[in-house]
Amino acid sequence: MLWLYLHFPHLLLDHVRRSQPIENALVIVEGTGQHVLQACPLAQDLGIQPGMRLKTALGLAPDLHILQADQQQQAQLLEEQARWLYRYVAHITLAQPDGLWAEVSSLQRLYGGLTAIWQTVEQALAEHQLTAWAALGHTPLAARLLARAGKGECSADKGHIQRALSQLPLAAAEFDKTACTRLNRLGLETLGDVFALPQKELARRLSPELLATIQKIQGTRADPRAPWQPPHRFRQRADFIQEVEHTQGLLFALQRILAELEDDLCWRQQDTDTLLLVLQHRHQEPTRLRLRTTGPEHRAETFMKLIRLKLDQQPLSAPVVSLVLVVRRFISREAPGGQDLLGETQDLNEAWHTLISRLQARLGDQALKQLSPQADHRPEFAWSAGEVKRSKGSGPVNPQSLPRRPLWLLPGPCPLTDTPVAWFSGPERISGGWWDGQRVHRDYYIAQLPSGQLAWVFRDTQNAWFVHGWFG
């Protein structure tokens, strides 16, 4: 067996950088924002190191761009890498959060030698604009340790690999902390020093677990790794550290993703006719765009045209912080178009869902909305017409405690022209919303107009009167 290990030292950073060209140094910080987890090469040139306090990092580079770490996203990114590698290698194992193994001994013949494999992988990495440290080893652990230490070489020579391993410092051996401290205290500095200790003594004086790890590195103990299975969908994401305000800014990232989709479809020998593009905003609900091609399709160019068209029709409602492209529907190239292979209707068996789907199909996605109350004192923000929710269940607002409001709320207040003939309740004072620039300060009353209509009227701070709704 021969294992190739790829270590991605700053996967999230690479991911962000290829979505948007950035001049400044960039770091990923852990959740609380106190310490640097990953630093891009530019940041490292400025002296910023992983593990450094953010305060110090900012002292070194005041214009630093900062991103919060996101484990889930990192895990997805790693899967993305496994996905393209899967085209070359059948046996892949993930090492969350930042590495993966590929079993390459069986490929040597196929590719005509180790060098060819190595180059293929390196070229693919370059195409994906990713930094990865690669190494070969006869055991999974050997490959991993060498890769993470940056000591990998394109050689399957056992003696050569053994020498490289022996020279690794103890800190690079990934032993548990106690074992590492103990070995240090014994004056041992390299992995070779540990290899040299009699195994019996090692187990007795340090721990049987440590011996087991050593044996796994050296290959005298089995270390099976279950192969990874690619999921049945395509999902890619791009994050922008500078919010994108115009459609143009999205296309750069989409180009790469669509190219990968095309590759993926070609390799699957499948087509698709439905793309889901989700644009995330900082403060608003995400924009979800469903794109349907006229027939089964796999070309990035066609998808791109479609997306351009859609975005031209529907300008961005708010700046975009990230986008996700998802394909769930795959159509076999031989199969007649339109046939549902993977059973998209499977989870739509409830009558409710069927109804919504039919209505949407008939009227178009945009035409169908669902009304729900919002927790806001301002009447115009106290409701929303959002995307139809697939799951029923009440929102955050308890309808019992809602105040008395007219069923018919006007799209906007209209000046009150008639003098009311009778007043029924009020004033109810509503004052709020100063934080989003849409401050209201009004006294509401229920009043009967000469026409007999029951109106919801208010007076604003300038003493002007408006009708805001009608009671039945």
Partner 1 sequence: MAMGYAELCCFSNFTFLTGASHPQELAERAAELGYRALAITDACSVAGIPRAWAALKDSPVKLITGSWFALEDAPPSAATPEFVLLARTRKGYGQLCQLITTGRRRAEKGQYQLFAQDLETHELGDCLCLWQPPSPVSADADQALACGQWLQRLFEHRLRIAATRTLEAGEDQQLARVRWLADDLRCPVVATGDVHMHSRERQPLQDVLTALRHHRTLETAGHCLFQNGERYLRPIPVLRRLFPEPWLRETLAIAEDCTFEPGSLRYEYPPDLVPENETPAAFLQRLTREGERRRYPDGTPMKVQALIRKELGLISEMRYEHYFLTIQDIVAFARSRGILCQGRGSAANSAVCYCLGITEVNPANVELLFERFISKDRDEPPDIDVDFEHQRREEVIQYIYQRYGRERAALAATVIRYRPRSAIRDVGKALGFDAALVEQLLDGIDWRDRATNWRQQILDKGLTRNPKVADQFFTLVNTLLGFPRHLSQHVGGFVISAGPLAELVPVENAAMEGRTVIQWDKDDLESLGLMKVDVLALGMLTAIRKALALVSEEKGEPFRIQDIPQEDPATYAMLQRGDSIGVFQVESRAQINMLPRLRPETYYDLVIEVAIVRPGPIQGDMVHPYLRRKHGLEPVDYPNDAVRQVLERTLGVPIFQEQVIKLAMVAAGFSAGEADQLRRAMAAWKSHGDLTPFRDKLIKGMRERGHSEDFAERLYKQICGFGGYGFPESHAASFALLVYVSAWLKRHHAAAFYCALLNSQPMGFYSSSQLVQDAKRHQVTVLPPDVNYSEQDHTLEGPDNHLRLGLRLIQGLSAQGAERIHQHRPTRGYRSAAEVRQLAGLDQRDMEKLAGANAMPGFTHNRHQAYWQLLEHEEPAELFAQNTGIRETGDDYEAEPCDYLPEPTEGQNILADYSSQGLTLQRHPLALLREQGHLKHCTQAEQLKGLKPGLPVQVAGLVTGRQRPGSASGVTFVTLEDETGNVNVVVWLETARRQRKPLLTARLLHVKGVLEREGDIVHVMAGKLTNLSHLINSLPVSSRDFH
For binding to partner 1 (CB under 8 A), which residues are involved?
29, 33, 46-47, 49, 52, 54-56, 58-60, 62, 64, 66-68, 182, 185-188, 193, 196-198, 201, 204-206, 283, 374-377, 396-397, 400-401, 403-404, 425, 427-432, 434-437, 441, 443
User: Tokens at residue 446, please?
Assistant: 């229920």
Which is closer to partner 1, CB of 273 or CB of 376?
A: 376
Count each helix (H run) and each strand (E run) in the chain, helices first: 15, 19
Q: How far is the CB of 410 from partner 1 (least distance, A)?
A: 19
Please state the separation of Cα 22 from the chain's center in Å.
Answer: 19
Q: Alpha-carbon distance 195 to 122, whole Å?
A: 32
Closest approach, Cβ 288 to partner 1, in A, equals 21
Tell me which residue has tokens 């750069």.
252
Distance between CA atoms of 400 and 398, rounded to whole angstroms?
5
Identify the DSSP state of 439: -
What minimum distance in Å lies between the beta carbon of 346 and partner 1? 35
* Strand arrangement of the beta sheet that strand 440-448 belongs to: 408-415, 465-471, 454-459, 440-448, 422-432
What is the C-alpha R_g of the chain?
30
The least distance separating partner 1 from the CB of residue 66, rounded to whole angstroms, comes to 5
> Please, which residue, 179 or 356, has the CB nearer to partner 1?
179
CB-nearer residue toward partner 1: 74 or 272: 74
Q: How far apart are CA 420 and CA 454, in angstroms?
A: 9
Residue closer to partner 1 (CB basis): 113 or 406: 406
- Rounded Cα distance, 186 and 194, in Å: 10
Contact indicator for 260, 130 with CB cutoff of 8 Å: no
Residue with token string 């041992």: 188
For partner 1, the closer CB: 166 or 274: 166
Query: What is the distance between the alpha carbons of residues 46 and 346, in angstroms, rounded to a whole number?
Result: 54
- Nearest distance in Å: CB 242, partner 1: 8
Residues 379 and 409 sit within 8 Å (Cβ to Cβ): yes
**Separation between Cα atoms, residue 444 and residue 456, nearest integer Å:** 7
Query: Measured from the CB atom, is 55 or 362 closer to partner 1?
Result: 55
387-403 b/e (C-beta count within 10 Å ≥ 16 → b): ebeeeeeeeeeeeeeee
Count the alpha carbons within 13 Å of 452 in the hemisphere toward its beta carbon: 0
The CA distance from 223 to 219, in Å, is: 8
Give the C-alpha separation, 290 to 252, whole Å: 20
Which residue, 370 or 425, is less far from partner 1 as judged by CB? 425
Cβ proximity to partner 1: between 188 and 410 the closer is: 188
Q: Tokens 């035409």 correspond to what residue?
A: 367
Tokens of 290: 């469903």
Q: Which of these, 289, 326, 329, lies nearest to 310 by C-alpha position?
A: 289
Give CA–CA dist 287/322, Å, rounded.
11
Q: Which is nearer to partner 1, 273 or 428 (CB)?
A: 428
Closer to partner 1 by Cβ: residue 267 or 424: 424
CA distance 132 to 14: 10
| 115/374 with CB nearer partner 1 | 374
Q: Tell me the closest approach of the beta carbon of residue 187 to partner 1, in angstroms.
A: 4
